[in-house]
Amino acid sequence: MSLFKYSITPVIKMTIAEEHAIEKVRNLLQSRLNEKDDHFSNSRFVRNLFDDITLNQSKRLSNLPGNIAKESLMLITKEESPSSLLIRGNCS
């Protein structure tokens, strides 16, 4: 989880993540760590996870009408956090 938070910091100085989103990412990382094999790359997995979250956030924001509030731009929701371990081909 600390690697995920570290990867966000340089890109977004201040992010608001819903508690459910944080928990979903935490569970996903823990599950992936428990199932890791010889080809598991923690950094690549976290980078791809972050990329998927920001892509999902962009999709949400593109559907909002009018001017988008700063809080909406900074928000990461539970729905934007992938729930599957098969992020980009399982990243193996």
**What is the 3-state composition of the chain as percent helix, strand, coil, each rounded to the nearest 5?**
60, 5, 35
Say yes or no to pLDDT of 8 above 60.
no
Q: What is the per-residue pLDDT for 5?
A: 54
End-to-end CA distance of the chain: 19
- Identity of residue 51: D
Place of tokens 């995920």: 4
Say yes or no to pLDDT of 20 above 80.
yes
pTM, rounded to two decimals: 0.67
Residue 75 phi, psi (nearest 5): -80, 135
Helix (H, G, I), strand (E, B) or coil at 69: coil
* Mean pLDDT of the 28-51 span: 81
